[in-house]
Amino acid sequence: MSEPLVLGIESSCDETGVGIVRGTELLAHAVASSVEEHVRFGGVVPEVASRAHLEAMVPTLEQAYAQAGVGPQDVDAIAVTCGPGLTGALLVGVAAAKALALAHDKPLYGLNHLVSHVAVDQLEHGRFDRRVGALLVSGGHTEILLVDDLATDVTMLGSTIDDAAGEAFDKVARLLGLPYPGGPHIDRAAREGDGTAIAFPRGLTRGRDMERHRYDFSFSGLKSAVARHVQREQLAGRDLVVPDVAASFQDAVVDVLTAKTVEACRAEGVDTLVVGGGVAANGRLRELVEQRASAAGIEVRVPRPGLCTDNGAMVAALGAEVVRRGLPPSSLDLPVDSSMPVTQVVAA
């Protein structure tokens, strides 16, 4: 039996992504980002994102078809992110997927955005032949997952109880006068700084917090500590050493992310860790997770940066796995679910 040819559509936030995959082979990867439209607001505006998806959907589909050398009638199935994400943005992608499925009589699969971030690694490093752990870090999500079966069995081990890691990067970048999105700018500034210059707190890493939130994260206190430091420096009339603040903040985030994730993998007997999401492009995170995982005998798999951020290829990758397993498709009256739990891989 030949591998399924699957079209994937992603529109959960500010990227309109379309990917086409045959099994674990990536044939097309087209993305239209509306990030520049959000810069002046310092964050994603849901209505602006939704309108951008409406404008970009058809051109991005056409670009993907051209890259793959196929037409809509050639695909075996259509996969689309139906949650979690911004409701209005999700609706655009789901509506497009329904139209294509109905017009070309193709099965439709509503898929989980978070699990798709794990599935995309199979396009680079091949299929998982055993259970894996996953650390997902982005502007909207920070989770540790246990993946016993990519299509049917995913467990949440820990998540953020307030800000996501990427959200914290954006807020701290604003405090330091750096542009939005903050992650890449803090990463660059930190390369010139000293990560030990300022002793910023590590959230949920002591005492009872570790009992109740062993694998959970909290970055709001860290963000407040940075704000207090900036304010103290200003009141004292001292110049803010942005590289040192950026490096110390970044080290505080990355320290907790990697320590808790590696501990979770060891406790669950997992020897393979997948890292995904936009913050996975952070140089310090990649460096420290490789170092700590290697010391624990854990293999780290990280997709290239272009596949870490939201994209249609990741949705197509999960869709191809679901189709290959023979799971039933979703209904054509598929709803969106802005808070879709990670345990639900495919929507009914």
Q: Give tens-digit pLDDT for 296-348.
A: 999 999 999 999 999 999 999 999 999 999 999 999 999 999 999 999 999 99
Q: Say yes or no: 74 and 207 in one domain.
A: no
20 and 168 within one domain:
no
* Same structural domain, 115 and 42: yes
Q: What sign has the CA pseudo-torsion 334, 9, 20, 181?
A: negative
d(CA 90, CA 17): 12
Rounded CA gap, 145 and 104, in Å? 35
Residue 287's contacts (CB-CB under 8 Å, 6 or more residues apart) are none
- CATH number of the domain that residue 46 is part of: 3.30.420.40
Rounded-to-integer distance, Cα 53 and Cα 312, Å: 13
Do 260 and 236 share a domain, yes or no? Answer: yes
Question: pLDDT, tens digit, for every residue of 6-20?
Answer: 999 999 999 999 999
Give Cβ neighbours of residue 181 (< 8 Å, ≥ 6 apart). 35, 139, 166, 169, 170, 173
Based on the fold, state whether residues 171 and 240 are members of the same structural domain.
yes
Residue 85 lies in a domain: yes
215 and 269 belong to one structural domain = yes
Say yes or no: 64 and 161 in one domain. Answer: no
- What average pLDDT score do residues 89-101 get? 98
Q: Residue 153 belongs to what domain range?
A: 132-303
Mark whether 214 and 281 lie in a shared domain: yes
Q: Does residue 246 sit in the same domain as residue 152?
A: yes
Count of domains observed in the chain? 2
Pair 194, 248: CB distance under 8 Å: yes
Task: Examine the domain organization and report whether 161 and 186 are in the same domain.
Answer: yes
Check whether residue 140 and residue 285 sit in a common domain: yes
Express each pLDDT in 203-215 by its tens digit.
999 989 999 999 9
Q: Find where tokens 């993305």 sit.
A: 31
What digits encode the pLDDT tens for the residues 127-156? Answer: 998 999 999 999 899 999 999 999 999 999
Q: Do 75 and 217 lie in a common domain?
A: no
